[in-house]
């Protein structure tokens, strides 16, 4: 992680842990929020495993979602109180049984500067984050495409 972003990282990690109880329940930990990139890790807990002893598909989905959110937040951390962020679509492809600790890395599909320029011009933006998941043997076990929609938060009437 870039050292200059340490304060933003800690603020967003705390926000994630306090506001996404399901991810916390699953033991997911944010590892990185930096310049169009985010990473998260799923522990090797019995509670996150399926009946075959590998990581449960739902836990892997939640992990990938967290990594995509970390990548998204790397752009919008300074605007977090003024925007509404939502995933509008997510497609996951499970490739192999995931065993042990699993790490997910999310990367913006287009340059962050382009995404922010569109947001600043339009007050909203839609963009993609590509996520890859690797297990404890560094095998790619899944990939996810996530579409985020960000818009200025309108006050309720």
In the chain, what are the domain boundaries? 3-152
| Cα–Cα distance measured from residue 109 to residue 89, given in angstroms and rounded to the nearest whole number | 15
| DSSP tally for the chain: helices H, then strands E | 4, 6
Contact 102, 56 (CB under 8 A): no
Q: Any idea of the CA torsion for 113, 5, 42, 73, to the nearest 10 degrees?
A: -40
pLDDT at 1: 40
| Cα–Cα distance measured from residue 146 to residue 101, given in angstroms and rounded to the nearest whole number | 22
Contact 14, 81 (CB under 8 A): no
Structural tokens at position 56 = 């449960």
- 54 bridge partner residues: none
Contact 69, 36 (CB under 8 A): no
pLDDT at 114: 97
Structural tokens at position 112 = 């962050």
| Cα–Cα distance measured from residue 27 to residue 47, given in angstroms and rounded to the nearest whole number | 9
Comparing CA positions, the residue from 10, 11, 111, 100 lying closest to residue 63 is 100
Could you read off the pLDDT tens digit of each residue along the chain, which spans 157 residues? 444 457 766 777 777 777 777 787 889 999 998 889 999 999 999 988 899 999 999 999 999 999 999 999 889 888 877 899 999 999 999 999 999 999 999 999 999 999 999 999 999 999 999 999 999 999 999 999 999 999 998 766 5
| Cα–Cα distance measured from residue 124 to residue 93, given in angstroms and rounded to the nearest whole number | 28
Fold classification of 3-152 (topology level): Thiol Ester Dehydrase; Chain A (3.10.129)
pLDDT at 157: 57
pLDDT at 5: 58
């Amino acid at each position: 992680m870039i050292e200059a972003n340490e304060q933003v990282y800690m603020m967003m990690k705390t926000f994630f842990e306090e506001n996404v109880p399901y991810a916390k329940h699953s033991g997911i930990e944010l590892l990185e929020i930096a310049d169009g990139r985010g990473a998260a890790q799923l522990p090797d807990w019995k509670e996150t495993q399926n009946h075959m002893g590998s990581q449960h598909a739902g836990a892997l989905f939640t992990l990938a979602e967290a990594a995509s959110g970390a990548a998204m937040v790397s752009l919008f951390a300074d605007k977090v109180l003024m925007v509404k962020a939502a995933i509008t679509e997510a497609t996951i492809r499970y490739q192999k049984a995931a065993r042990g600790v699993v790490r997910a890395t999310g990367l913006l599909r287009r340059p962050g500067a382009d995404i922010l320029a569109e947001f600043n011009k339009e007050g909203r933006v839609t963009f993609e984050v590509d996520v890859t998941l690797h297990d404890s043997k560094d095998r790619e076990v899944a990939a996810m495409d996530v579409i985020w929609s960000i818009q200025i938060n309108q006050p309720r009437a």
